[in-house]
A and B are shown apart, each in its own frame.
Chain A
Amino acid sequence: MSIIDSLLYHWNVNILSHSLLRLNIWLRAEISRASWKSKYLAPPLKISWLNKDLVTRHWLRGHYANQRHKVAWVTSGAPTELLKALDYFIVYPENHAAICGTARVAVDIMSVAEEAGYSQDICSYARTDFGTLLSGKTPVGKLPRPDLLLACTNICQTVLFWYRVLARHFNIPLIVIDTPFVYHSEATEHALQFVLRQLEQAIPVAEQVAGKSLQERKLKEVGRLSKMATELWLEIIERNQHQPAPISVIDQFIQMAPIVEMRGDAETVDFYAAMLKEVDERIANGIGAVKGEKKRLLWDNLPIWYRLRYLAEFLGENGVAIVASTYTNAWGELARYYDVERGLESLALACIYVILNRSTGHKLKTMQRMIEEYHLDGVILHSDRSCKPYSIGQMDQRDRLIREFEKPALLLEADHNDFRCFAEQQVANRLAAFVEMLER
């Protein structure tokens, strides 16, 4: 990197974002909080602007990342710590796709992929990613070109094919970590060893692309930060066992961006420490995410990114708060597996015990535990057309929630990123009928 490039980078990423952008984001957040008029929902968390600042800076860094770092594109369940320790700049295409979803530009972008021949039956995250790849369209300015790809099959099999498309497109190495499915409560020793061997084999490939060697000290440091951030996140979401719940799951969907795309960074730990403090302040002051909380629900599956506000407002108006979610919990429940002293083994455990790599019975047990611990009145199961591994089993889970746990459960058909699969009228009708049923 030349001196001019370096100066330009510092001006754009550090000076500009630390002053002008930061000020702009803070001011807008303060104005939004000051002019908050909702009769049903608490104003956004004070730390929301910090989240926005972190995410904006992340993508701003991404814009210039190719000049300073090797860049890796990874799946959300991948052992990113390995690459962080090698100083890679990490991009999560799924996270980028979710940003496109909330910005309501995803369908426009994925249409490009569909025109190129990718079927509408493929995951809408993958289609959004392919659309950006083919058109360059993105709300974050620009995605840095990857030098390495890391796909872990613990979230779905689609990533295997998705990342092969990326590898062919960019003509770069692809590391695949294949995680055997955990059918029973514990993974077999053989399965763990299988994942561990793959991680060992991934290191030289990642080192070669990075042009440097992995240092144990660095890996431990990143692992320590990952553990701290996931533990804080778990603490935050568990604070919702309190009644009224200080934050809704809709808030969690927004505030989870750093734990997904910036896990292993010191700033992420600071952010969640600040968030926990604010959540505790809300509890101390008796502030609930939904004013006059009457009913508490569980959300299963990915968010409907393009209708978060609608859901929050509709439910809030009826005194209904979504307070627990198997999805946001997925980024917290792995905290216990991170152990800096166990190195790669702890990464293998964190890979293999991801909720989507475990049985539908395990998910049912998680929901049952949440129903008790969070004092829930019902469950909304988002049947996500794009995420088959998450949606499979929901019909049976719904039946058992109703019959065995006597909790009303609603199956809501939609898609996490493709609003063409969201029938507004039908969804509104089902939600309204469900709320009336809860009130009986």
Chain B
Amino acid sequence: MAEVRALGIDVGSTTAKIVGIDDDGRIIWHVLEQADPQVGKQVEKFLELAREVTPILSVPIEGEREIGVPLIATGYGRKLVHQATRTVTEITCHARGVFRELGHGGTLVDIGGQDSKVIGISPKGEVVDFSMNDKCAAGTGRFLENTANRLGVHLDRLGEVTLSTVEEVSISSTCTVFAESEVISLIAHGVATEPILKGLHRSLIKRVVAMIRTVGLRPPLMLSGGVVRNPAIPQILQEETGEEVIIPRHPQLMGALGAALIALELVE
């Protein structure tokens, strides 16, 4: 394995990821786990793993400031990564990561566990505008997670079940809590699970499309984040925007990759 020259860590609300890249910025190592509420412990574990795969790696130990391989932290828990050389927001990191992976600008939609963002990226890879969900989990993965639980459908099967039907009921609530009540009411009226699920996906995507409008859609449309594992999401996003949706090879690692690429600049 090539030598890890820089590390990026993305501490999200639902998952935590670490990426190691080589001199050319290629992902040569990564770990992805459910987020541990004890961020410090999880980060230390990630760095232990990094030391195992690259014995020559000299990762800074907590409390010590000297830099071995530079580490940039991003994501909601970035400030808790005390070992980081610097912290950078997920907006900048995602833009950097996806630009590297796909090689072009456009509009990036990232749907995470508890936040969604739309980032306008210039042809040179710079962030030109962004929008994020505010004070509310509408339009995020948590919206689907909550309602899927209520319907008794496992998250891994959510997309498959959703796409198995052409029928759809309209869900008017964009609020996660109210949508759950609406789902309960629909079940009580005997509506089948699949059309409800499809309506829920549509509701989430409509919220995301409103955010895309705020930033202004500059094609191509790109999609990243953990929710991409659900195939119904890109399909419905495509239906709602009329644009082909491009997904990078590691959609969940774009933030961590971007962070590692910024770290690599420190080496250079």
Asked if residues B127 and A413 are in contact (CB atoms below 8 Å), the reply is: no
Asked if residues B89 and A426 are in contact (CB atoms below 8 Å), the reply is: no
Q: Flag the segment in B128-136, B200-208, B226-234 that touches A.
A: B128-136
Asked if residues B91 and A433 are in contact (CB atoms below 8 Å), the reply is: yes
Asked if residues B134 and A437 are in contact (CB atoms below 8 Å), the reply is: no
Asked if residues A408 and B135 are in contact (CB atoms below 8 Å), the reply is: no
Asked if residues B88 and A436 are in contact (CB atoms below 8 Å), the reply is: yes
Residue of A nearest to B127 (CB): A437
Q: Given that A436-B127, A437-B127 are contacting pairs, would A429 and B134 also be in contact in the complex, using a CB cutoff of 8 Å?
A: no
Query: Which of B76, B129, B214 gathers most chain A CB within 10 Å?
Result: B129
B264 → chain A, closest Cβ, in Å? Answer: 17
Asked if residues A440 and B135 are in contact (CB atoms below 8 Å), the reply is: no
Does B48 make an interface contact (CB < 8 A)? no
Give chain B interface residues in 85-129, CB to chain A under 8 Å: 88-92, 126-129
A contact face: mostly helix, strand, loop, or mixed: helix
B76: chain A residues at CB < 8 Å are 425, 429
Asked if residues B89 and A432 are in contact (CB atoms below 8 Å), the reply is: yes
Residue of B nearest to A398 (CB): B214
Asked if residues A426 and B135 are in contact (CB atoms below 8 Å), the reply is: yes
A176: chain B residues at CB < 8 Å are none
Asked if residues B132 and A426 are in contact (CB atoms below 8 Å), the reply is: yes
B129: chain A residues at CB < 8 Å are 402, 408, 437
Complex Cα spacing A429 to B13, Å: 14
Does A430 make an interface contact (CB < 8 A)? yes
A413: chain B residues at CB < 8 Å are 134-135
Partner of B126, one of A399, A425, A440: A440
Asked if residues A423 and B134 are in contact (CB atoms below 8 Å), the reply is: yes
Asked if residues A437 and B130 are in contact (CB atoms below 8 Å), the reply is: yes
A421 → chain B, closest Cβ, in Å? Answer: 8
Complex Cα spacing A123 to B129, Å: 30
Complex Cα spacing A413 to B89, Å: 18
Q: Given that A395-B214, A440-B127 are contacting pairs, would A426 and B134 also be in contact in the complex, using a CB cutoff of 8 Å?
A: yes
Residue of A nearest to B120 (CB): A402
Complex Cα spacing A425 to B134, Å: 10
Complex Cα spacing A413 to B134, Å: 8
Chain A contributes a number of interface residues (CB within 8 A of B) equal to 16
Chain B contributes a number of interface residues (CB within 8 A of A) equal to 16
Partner of A433, one of B92, B126, B135, B214: B92
A429: chain B residues at CB < 8 Å are 76, 89-90, 132
Query: Which of A408, A429, A432, A433 gathers most chain B CB within 10 Å?
Result: A433
A284 → chain B, closest Cβ, in Å? Answer: 37
B135: chain A residues at CB < 8 Å are 413, 423, 426
B90: chain A residues at CB < 8 Å are 429, 433
Interface mask (B134-166 → A, CB under 8 Å = 1, otherwise 0): 110000000000000000000000000000000
Asked if residues A437 and B92 are in contact (CB atoms below 8 Å), the reply is: yes
A-B Cβ contacts below 8 A, count: 40
B91: chain A residues at CB < 8 Å are 433, 436-437
Residue of A nearest to B125 (CB): A440
Asked if residues B132 and A430 are in contact (CB atoms below 8 Å), the reply is: yes
Complex Cα spacing A399 to B132, Å: 16
Give chain B interface residues in 203-236, CB to chain A under 8 Å: 214, 216
A423: chain B residues at CB < 8 Å are 134-135
Interface mask (A271-311 → B, CB under 8 Å = 1, otherwise 0): 00000000000000000000000000000000000000000
Give chain A interface residues in 400-430, CB to chain B under 8 Å: 402-403, 408, 413, 423, 425-426, 429-430
Complex Cα spacing A182 to B125, Å: 43
B214: chain A residues at CB < 8 Å are 395
B89: chain A residues at CB < 8 Å are 429, 432-433, 436
Asked if residues A433 and B134 are in contact (CB atoms below 8 Å), the reply is: no
A323 → chain B, closest Cβ, in Å? Answer: 22
B105 → chain A, closest Cβ, in Å? Answer: 13
Complex Cα spacing A402 to B90, Å: 22
A408: chain B residues at CB < 8 Å are 128-129
Interface mask (B182-213 → A, CB under 8 Å = 1, otherwise 0): 00000000000000000000000000000000
B39 → chain A, closest Cβ, in Å? Answer: 14
Complex Cα spacing A432 to B75, Å: 12
A399: chain B residues at CB < 8 Å are 216
B113 → chain A, closest Cβ, in Å? Answer: 14
Asked if residues A436 and B92 are in contact (CB atoms below 8 Å), the reply is: yes
B134: chain A residues at CB < 8 Å are 413, 423, 426
Residue of B nearest to A425 (CB): B76
Query: Which of B88, B126, B135 gathers most chain A CB within 10 Å?
Result: B135
A95 → chain B, closest Cβ, in Å? Answer: 28
Residue of A nearest to B122 (CB): A440
B109 → chain A, closest Cβ, in Å? Answer: 16
Query: Which of B90, B91, B126 gathers most chain A CB within 10 Å?
Result: B91
Would you give 15 A-B contacts (Cβ < 8 Å), ordered by A? Answer: A423-B135, A426-B134, A426-B135, A429-B76, A429-B89, A429-B90, A433-B89, A433-B91, A433-B127, A433-B130, A436-B89, A436-B92, A437-B91, A437-B129, A440-B126
In the A-B complex, the 8 residue pairs with the closest CB atoms: A433-B91, A433-B89, A436-B92, A440-B126, A423-B135, A432-B89, A437-B127, A413-B134
Q: Which residues of A contact B (CB under 8 A)?
A: 395, 399, 402-403, 408, 413, 423, 425-426, 429-430, 432-433, 436-437, 440
Q: Which residues of B contact A (CB under 8 A)?
A: 76, 88-92, 126-130, 132, 134-135, 214, 216
Given A430-B132, A436-B91, A437-B127, 12 new contacts (CB under 8 A): A413-B135, A423-B134, A425-B76, A426-B132, A426-B134, A426-B135, A433-B89, A433-B92, A433-B127, A436-B92, A437-B128, A437-B130
